[in-house]
A and B are shown apart, each in its own frame.
Chain A
């Protein structure tokens, strides 16, 4: 399972690079910052997953789950703001 987590982190880091390179093209999505935030917290959770085997496994595991939860909440808010709150704002 450890390999999966490293691959996940690497792919996630690749996504970060992709976002940075195409940041201008994403400006037409008004709720892009929420999506970025959701992705960022998800990426943190992947980072913590890899770090928990090295030190402070309990605390970092807790942080991983917190990040994961925050990510899902932000994503839910992003979906609400994008699709429900203001029709056609994207």
Chain B
């Protein structure tokens, strides 16, 4: 048993010898130095312990045997040191790793980091700071940062640093600095004040970055924004921003166009500013939704729209809808231009063009008819002048001889008493007719040139005066004239008198030969118009002539014995055209005629 124990002790000793060899061989291995020493001591203690056991067994006196008790106590203590040194090494390593990590964080920063005293003396600056200002770390440490800031900004920086307190230990400031190439650049610094136990500022720790590009970009953006804002604000068109069919923003012109306040617009829909139905008959809501959907799909929309102001007054607008992407959100931009005036102008132009066309046609007709009607007496004059000339020549030939034969005398007599007077009579008649026609033309042209002085007219009084003036004709024709209640109108008295005089005169002139003339003058208000009717029981106008009777020099029966050259109705028509009124006929042959005059009812 004892032998076995001693063998075990020898093995133990040899194991420790091996261990110490391994330890010495690998001494340079990466391992905590203190731990190596402690491990070495443990191995030696165990080796000595086993050696003392062997000595004891061999009964060899040795100092080791006396030291065994001490070695026994030392062994666990050494183990304790071993593990303690391992733990310590771990903590040191952790500290070292942390320091390295934090150093790397500070030094590898692209942002500038520095620490300084309250008198602006720099105590630490990272690599980024040194690179930015083009200075060495040694140069910077101990120097002051104020010379790196332009003098104009010194006051601002000083004030900034004076505002730190334990309650406000962190603050940010933007100022200019002089970079390594001497240029002025903008910096933003966030500093933290570090206080000592008395509460005084011991140091500042700051993180800074160059914001020159950012500043320039912001400045450019602000300029651009101001420019666009100005465009938006000063645009002559109403501009909306819409989210689906809800207005979210609008420019000042919108308020002018829709005659309302901003609160009346924002949050409302275009349908709130439109009638239910558009002029083309489509429902506003349907067509608006269709347009909005198309615009959202990216198809720009441009169309005419009937809008209403806040007070309900409608106006025509030209609308342009465009999709707008703002910060990832899709909106619609609506540009609304009031085209009411343009529409009115267009309509006025259309009306004027139509009038011009009619006037041209009328002028052509006058020229044609005038030339035609003037030609007839001219031909007469020409023909009979020729006859007269021939007769005079023949008369001259006959009177050349001193002695005139009986037959020649009869011929002279015939020429002087029949041919020449007849030719002169025809020439005079034709000249008179031409005179009448030309006078008529002058009358017609005067109607176009007369100035209009409109006022409210008592129509009953006017018609009464006309009848008084025509009393002789009325008595002669035994016509029975009745006048109903005639509403007043706003027009030119002289022209209206001329119209009614002509119509009543025509009614008397073209009365039926087989019955007593009955003329009825009546009137009524039909909303925006006033209608007057002059009805008679005369010979009437056949349907085929009803359009022609207003043409110049047109007469129903030119060869009858009625006076006139066919100008009365032409003048009536022209006067009514000038007054913005119309005339129409309700008539049949032999059943009398009714002239219907329609005037605007000016309130």
Contacts and interface: CB of A to CB of B under 8 A. Distances in A.
Say whether A associates with B.
yes
Interface of A: 1, 4-5, 7-8, 11-12, 14-15, 18-19, 22, 25-26, 28-29, 32, 35, 39, 42-43, 46, 58, 61-62, 65-66, 68-69, 71-73, 75-76, 78-80, 82-84, 87-88, 90
Contacts of A80: 18-19, 22
A83 B76 CA distance: 22
Q: What DSSP secondary structure best describes chain A's contact surface?
A: helix
Contacts of A19: 83
Contacts of B23: 79, 83
B430 to A, nearest CB: 141
A35 B72 CA distance: 18
B83 A26 contact: yes
Given A15-B76, A42-B75, A87-B26, A68 B50 contact: yes
Contact of A46 (B18, B19, B30, B76): B76
Interface stretch (B4-12, B254-262, B408-416, B492-500): B4-12
Given A8-B75, A68-B50, A90-B30, A14 B80 contact: yes
Nearest to B10: A69
A75 B8 contact: no
B29 A65 contact: no
9 contacts: A4-B72, A8-B76, A26-B87, A66-B8, A71-B46, A75-B46, A79-B22, A79-B43, A87-B29
Contacts of A1: 69
Given A19-B83, A71-B12, A79-B39, 7 more contacts: A7-B73, A8-B72, A8-B76, A22-B83, A65-B12, A72-B19, A72-B46
A85 to B, nearest CB: 9
Nearest to B31: A90
Nearest to B27: A83
| Shortest 8 CB-CB contacts between residues of A and residues of B | A83-B26, A72-B15, A11-B76, A79-B22, A76-B19, A88-B30, A12-B76, A72-B12
B313 interface: no
A82 B18 CA distance: 13
B16 interface: yes
B93 interface: yes
B77 interface: yes
B2 to A, nearest CB: 9
B87 A25 contact: yes
B30 A87 contact: yes
Contacts of B50: 68, 72
A79 B19 contact: yes
B22 A11 contact: no
Contacts of B87: 22, 25-26
B104 interface: no
A56 to B, nearest CB: 12
Interface in B76-91: 76-77, 79-80, 82-84, 86-87, 90-91
A18 to B, nearest CB: 6
Contacts of A15: 76, 79-80, 83
A88 to B, nearest CB: 4
Contacts of B43: 75, 79
A43 to B, nearest CB: 8
Contacts of A39: 79, 83
Given A18-B84, A25-B87, A4 B73 contact: yes
Contacts of A79: 18-20, 22-23, 26, 39, 43
B73 A25 contact: no
Interface in B2-54: 4-5, 8-9, 11-13, 15-16, 18-20, 22-23, 25-27, 29-31, 39, 42-43, 46, 49-50, 53
Contacts of B30: 87-88, 90
B1 interface: yes
Given A7-B73, A8-B76, A28 B25 contact: no
B511 to A, nearest CB: 135
A75 B19 contact: yes
Contacts of B20: 79
A78 B19 CA distance: 8
B4 A62 contact: yes
Nearest to A86: B29
Interface in B168-225: none
